[in-house]
A and B are shown apart, each in its own frame.
Chain A
């Protein structure tokens, strides 16, 4: 015979968010215009390969660098490790300023 409980059971998820019931989570507006302008071509450009520090990222970027050397030698590749104290957030300033000054594009990876 099934056990009958003497009082109602509370929902452990009830009232746990700050949002009012039924309120939608905040969907951000599309912001395509906030992306940087794309390059017409990579020929003659300087591309930074930024290793964000996760295991194997540097070795993957080695292969990206190798591919460009073989197939698009006019592209200048600069390798950098992400600076700052954390690989989990963007606490980098100096490297971004360097890329802005000396480069035209960046490949970042590898997340995971």
Chain B
């Protein structure tokens, strides 16, 4: 947390006494920070939240009581700057972090129902029943890769406990079993794990992620990139996306008020919009090729943001570009990041009728034509929070935008290369989605494979049960 780290720097490197202020909601996090950094900052707490409160309430916060100590906040501020810390003030706060003790590799024998309850109670699940990772199932899962079970796939840093978690192939296989995956899905899940990126981050905001698969593996494992690709229907899409969240749980990111702070959460986290790109029906270069992979490489790409908006009935009155600009109006435009998810019909229309020969051509059009008043842009909290410091550092064009009158129009998507475009859908209607997702990372699936690439489903709409 920046207030703590900045206070430590000022105190220790610059010799400046500080009075760090936090809302009461974060007292647990700051206790961990104190424990691991060992610097007895005298935090002062206000009621929560501060955001959105009118001046009269904020004045009451200043003149009212600290909910942690029942002392007057402004008096504590003055005291923090003028009174040395007493030796007894932080008694007990420097105790070692509690650990759960030695973890046995096998759980005690129990009934399936009891084990399901245990997994849920220990916080190992996403709230849904899981497939119990028996030795037999995990061994079978491990046949999906030629990597050794004890090979470390990723090291994950936990901010609250300052621990590094080493995550092995076997641990990923356990999670894959729990998610309901099959051995042929394991290379994709290992590729996701190898990035070390969690599907949520420690934030009070409702972060969400998207997981995109490109290349031959999509069809070999019958991922759906066609009709209803984002719907809960296809096994591979569902379980691979779910596995990312179960990995994230095992990495500790869902520990309440230690790493997990999202006030409302986000239902996207159930399977992280796991999907394949419909390369066969797309008129443009596949996404992974844009990221310098070969077309016959199999690749996962990860995206992160908060929200997406659907175009719901196509675009007959306005152009696709114009309607995309309307949809973008619901999103903040943070660092020019957006992700457009186009049905193949839309992509074809854009290329054949509107003349956009590449995805980047359309991104450039969006970049030039989507505009908002500067005041509206800077008035968005997340922009003020994350981009205003960059503007104040003199980075252009943000510094210039910051000086503009509020009514002056700016084009906030100034980096067309940050507008990601992927093609997904079954061509039943020319629709699309617009998300505020930024591109995070890509990773090779092929290095984790047990077998070389094979032929598979070829029309995008794959792996859909159709009993009639």
Contact = CB atoms under 8 A, between A and B. Distances in A.
B10 A12 contact: no
Contacts of A87: 2, 385-386, 389
Contacts of A62: 55, 58
A66 interface: yes
B59 A38 contact: no
B70 interface: no
Interface residues of B, number: 109
Contacts, number: 310
B85 interface: yes
Contact of A38 (B17, B52, B100): B17
B134 A103 contact: no
Given A34-B12, A63-B55, 4 more contacts: A39-B17, A42-B78, A60-B53, A86-B2
B4 interface: yes
Contact of A47 (B8, B59, B81, B393): B81
B66 to A, nearest CB: 13
B97 A27 contact: yes
Given A32-B40, A50-B6, A86-B389, A24 B96 contact: yes
B22 interface: yes
Contact of B135 (A8, A100, A111): A8
A86 to B, nearest CB: 7
B18 A13 contact: no
Interface in A46-88: 47, 50, 52-57, 59-60, 62-64, 66-67, 71, 81-88
Contacts of A4: 111-112
Interface residues of A, number: 79
B124 to A, nearest CB: 5
B102 A11 contact: no
Chief secondary structure at chain A's binding surface: loop
Nearest to B22: A111
Contacts of A32: 40, 84-85, 87
Interface of B: 1-23, 25-26, 30, 35-41, 46, 48-53, 55, 58-59, 61-63, 74, 77-78, 81-85, 87, 90, 94-97, 99-107, 109, 111-115, 119, 122, 124, 132-138, 155, 161-168, 171, 174-175, 178, 204, 250, 381, 384-386, 388-390, 392-393
Contact of B17 (A18, A29, A36, A56): A36
A22 B50 contact: no
A17 B23 contact: no
A38 B83 contact: yes
B167 A109 contact: no
B142 to A, nearest CB: 11
Nearest to B133: A10
Contacts of A107: 18-21, 77, 81
A54 B385 contact: yes
Nearest to A72: B78
Given A38-B84, A42-B81, A12 B175 contact: yes
A22 B16 contact: no
A100 B104 contact: no
A6 B122 CA distance: 23
| Most-contacted residue by chain A among B103, B155, B167, B250 (CB, 10 A) | B103
13 contacts: A8-B109, A8-B134, A16-B167, A25-B162, A36-B12, A36-B16, A63-B59, A89-B5, A105-B81, A108-B20, A108-B21, A109-B21, A111-B20
